[in-house]
Structure 1
Amino acid sequence: MEFDVQYISFFVIQTDGEGTDSGKRFRHFQTMDGEDYEDSPLKEFLSGEFARIVKRKAERHPVSESVPTKIGRFRVEPGYEPDSNPDYNLLQRLRSADTAERFHSIADELVHIYMDTSAVRGGAFIAVQATLSKLFDTPFLFLLKCDFESKIARIADERSLISTVEMAISARSIKSIQYPHMPEEGMLEPWEVKIHQASHARYFEDFLKFVSYERPLPEVMGEQVLDMVQQYMTDKWQDDVSPLRKEEEEAVEIWAASDKRELLERWTPEQVYAASAVLVEQKEDLGLSFKLGGVQVKGLLTDFGQSLHFARHNGRYVAVIEGDFFQFERGISPVELLHPPELVQVMEVIGQASPQDEPTGLDSPGDGSNDSVAAGSGHENSAVNNEDDDVPW
């Protein structure tokens, strides 16, 4: 994916106190056309960067608000075209500039606006107009911000060893705006921009004030679940206005507003499967995570009812995860040496001991339990079939 640069403007932003309004200033270093760019050090510095920006994946409904790459859409009043949006007009003017002088003038205006945002830090600001001639006649616009790298040094000579590099920048941490967004090769979305920034900052969300971003996927899916719950309540109670209905509605409201929710115990497995199917149809890899006691489990919503099951036994909640094999990573633990008992044997001890008690029964070596595990599993294993055999410590 080769981009041909038409125009590029290079600015340096300096601040005397990061995050303060005082001492913020910028300086235009150079604006070049395509020929000058080909012979400049900038080409080597930005080599491959445009293709990386375009290929970087982004979801319209991200998994959270803090994801680094987002897709934004120009906000307009109903019935109006994008040219009623100030951000759209500014980017389009820069994108359609046909001389280096005009490109510099509009880029200068754009940097002035960027300097008024709250997250301005020192660094290089680069505006680029480039075409992907293989696919399009119209150019792309790239706005790049490279923060200054701290504590950068280079080898000097035998006496001083190293010298400090002032105003060093790195292509590794480039923040970027791409316009227009290309969701698939050969397809452009003139209503959308793609931004990439540090997840903890709002560099470009503050800068592009008239661009909106879709809500995170968990929020959207959660809203759909609440709509299903509301429909369920309406169908269940219909015209009944008894205190029991009000009590259940209040319980559901409290549950929905809680950050840490417990199992509500309202729907049958069949109702859960049906509701899950509606969500999975929209996004197959929808995540599912929960805690049972102090154990965190992460999987997919499609796992529920297939390889993941919830149950109750002896007054305790149980999550059963089935699969063909276990896989362990990082530090080795004794658990990896376990010869698993049959599930019916595990069920016998669930709910029999308080959480404070030491593991007993299946977990205690030398009490005969290992013999029954081996017999129940049908596997030959001398370490568990010999009652006189024990671990060496």
Structure 2
Amino acid sequence: MKFAVQYLSFFVIQNEGSDPDGPKKYKHYQTLSHEEYQDSELKAFLDGEFKRIAKRKAEVNAASENVPTKIGRFVVEPGHDLTSNPNYNLFQRLRTAADKNEFHYCSDDVLRLYMDTNSVRGGAFVLATAKLNELYDDPFLFLFKCDFESKIARVSDERSLISQVEMAINAKNIKSIQYPHMPEEGMLEEWELKIHQASHARYFEDFLKYVSYEKSKPEIVADQVMGMVQQYIETKWQAADIPYYESGDESVEPAAADTEEAAALRQEKQQFDIWAAGEKRELQQKWSHEHVMEATKQIVELQPDLELKFKLDDILIKGHMDDYGNNIHIASMNGRYVVVIEGDSFQFEKGVSPIELLHPEEMQEVLQRVGNGVRRRGSGEAPSLD
């Protein structure tokens, strides 16, 4: 996969004062044609980045909310086409620029929009169009943002040993945009673009105001679970002949809203809301094993590769969502929790331990030993594990 650069504009963003968080200004350094790029120092610096960005994989529904690489989609009103989207139109102007002067002017428009985003940092900003001649007639658009590196030095002469390099940049942490998105060679998605940025930054998401991003897989699962919770509450209280209603429902009679049952309903709903919003959550002990199995089955049908991860005290357990009830079992014994993990073989990694020499006991013996230990700690004969 070899990209041929058509045009490239190089800008530098700098602080206007000594405050790194203060106002910024930018300067256009140079715009290059294909021939000028071939003879420039930028060729060795950027050539590998085009291929690296194009091959970087991303999912429309990301594995987490903070993944560095995301797929964005241009937003249009129902019944309208892509030409109604301002971000798309700006990108198309760059892709269809007739000469390097036109490309420079369009690039300047892009950079002025970028400068209006929050938390813009100093660095190099590069825009380029590049073609994959063996696959496509139209070029791809690439935007690169390289932050300045602090405390960079290079070997100098025998006398001074090293000298400081001002405005140093490297390709290690390049942020980028590629349009259009190429899921695989030979396939293009003209409605989609691919962005890559540090997880804590949202420069490109702020900059592209008319691009949307699908929910991550955890967000989708959370929505599904909360839908199941709402259905559970509604069914439970209707079975008890108590009308279920949402807070603020003006159709509910005041007398009904003031009953003890209605207050209990509101309290339970609030408990679920608090639980769902928590960063670290405990076992709720609300649903039966069969209820959880059915809910898990519905989720896994839509998201087959979902991870299951939790901690029992300080022990981390990791698996897949469909392992619950099959290979991972959760139980209680004399007031304590027990996790049973079953499988066909063990695999130990670096570091030899005596546990690897174990001849396992039968399950009944282990459960008896665990139960005896719990009873001894409960009676004070043995120190508590807590």
Quickly name the TM-score band, shorter chain normalised: 0.7 to 0.9
Q: Which residue of 2 aligns with 1:57?
A: 57
Deviates more, 1:245-254 or 1:155-164: 245-254
Question: How far did 1:358 drift?
Answer: 4.3
| Pairwise CA distance, 1:61 | 2.1
**2:289 equivalent to 1:269:** yes
Q: CA contact under 8 A between 1:255 and 1:261: conserved in structure 2?
A: no
Hey, what does 1:86 align to over in structure 2? 86
Equivalent-residue separation in structure 1 for 2:290 and 2:299 (angstroms): 15
Instruction: Report if the CA contact (8 A) 2:233-2:269 is conserved.
Output: no
Q: Does the Cα contact within 8 Å between 1:19 and 1:118 map onto a contact in 2?
A: no
**Higher alpha-carbon deviation: 305-314 or 349-358:** 349-358
Tell whether the 8 Å contact from 2:377 to 2:384 is kept in structure 1 after alignment.
no
> What displacement does 1:106 show?
0.5
1:1-393 mapped onto 2 (5 Å cutoff)? 1-15=1-15, 16=17, 17-21=19-23, 24-238=24-238, 240-242=240-242, 247=264, 250-258=267-275, 259=278, 260-329=280-349, 335=355, 338-348=358-368, 349-350=370-371, 351-354=374-377, 357-358=382-383
Q: What is the distance in 1 between the residues matched to 2:14 and 2:135? A: 38
What is the CA–CA distance in structure 1 between the aligned matches of 2:293 and 2:239, rounded to whole Å? 27
Asked if 2 retains the 8 angstrom alpha-carbon contact of 1:18 and 1:120, the reply is no
Measured at CA, do residues 341 and 236 of structure 1 come closer, stay the same or move farther in structure 2, by a change above 3 Å?
A: same
* Partner SS for 1:143: strand
Gaps of 5+ in 1: 361-393
Residue type at the aligned position of 1:64: S
Q: Which moved more, 1:202-211 or 1:344-353?
A: 344-353
- Specify the SS of the correspondent of 2:193: strand
Q: Secondary structure at the match of 1:309?
A: strand
Worse-superposed segment, 242-251 or 278-287: 242-251
Residue-by-residue CA offset, 1:207-263 (whole Å, 9 max, x unaligned): 112222222221211111222233344445546434668736742541343214333
Give the TM-score normalised by structure 2. Answer: 0.84
* Structure-2 separation of matches of 1:318 and 1:249: 32
Compute the displacement of 1:324 (Å): 3.3
Contact 2:6 2:34 (8 Å CA) reproduced: yes
Once the two structures are TM-superposed, the CA of residue 63 in structure 1 deviates from its matched residue by: 3.1
Aligned-pair identity in percent equals 56
Question: Aligned residues, how many?
Answer: 358
CA deviation after TM superposition for structure 1 residue 305, in Å: 1.8
TM-score (norm 1): 0.83
Q: Residues of 1 paired with 2:109 and 2:177: CA distance?
A: 16
CA distance in 2 between counterparts of 1:320 and 1:245 reads 39
- The separation in 1 between residues aligned to 2:205 and 2:358, in whole angstroms, is 52
1:5-27 residue CA offsets vs partner (Å, 9 max, x unmatched): 11111111111322222xx2211
- Whole-angstrom distance in 2 between the partners of 1:190 and 1:326: 47
SS state at 1:118 partner: coil
Amino acid at match of 2:304: E
Given that residues 177 and 194 in structure 1 are in contact (C-alpha distance below 8 angstroms), is that contact kept between their aligned partners in structure 2? Answer: yes
1:122/1:148 contact within 8 Å kept: yes
Q: Measure the CA separation in 1 of the matches of 2:88 and 2:300.
A: 35
Q: Please, which moves more after superposition, 175-184 or 268-277?
A: 268-277
Distance 1:65 1:324, change over 3 A: same
| 1:303, distance to aligned residue in structure 2 (A) | 1.3
Conserved? CA contact 2:146–2:175, under 8 Å = yes
SS of the residue corresponding to residue 18 of structure 1 reads coil
Unaligned runs of 5+ in 2: 243-259
The more displaced of 241-250 and 208-217 is 241-250
- Change beyond 3 A, Cα 1:159–1:54: same
The one-letter code of the counterpart of 2:377 is S
Using the TM superposition, give the Cα deviation of residue 334 of structure 1 relative to its aligned residue in structure 2, in angstroms: 6.0
Query: Are the counterparts in 2 of residues 143 and 176 from structure 1 also a CA contact under 8 Å?
Result: yes
In 2, the alpha carbon distance for the partners of 1:134 and 1:276 equals 46
Partner AA of 1:229 in structure 2: V
SS where residue 281 of structure 1 aligns? helix
Change (3 A) 1:93 1:172: same
Amino acid corresponding to residue 202 of structure 1 in structure 2: R
Question: Are the structure 2 counterparts of residues 337 and 359 from structure 1 closer, same or farther at C-alpha, using a change threshold of 3 Å?
Answer: farther
RMSD: 2.5
CA contact (8 A) 1:280 1:286 kept: yes
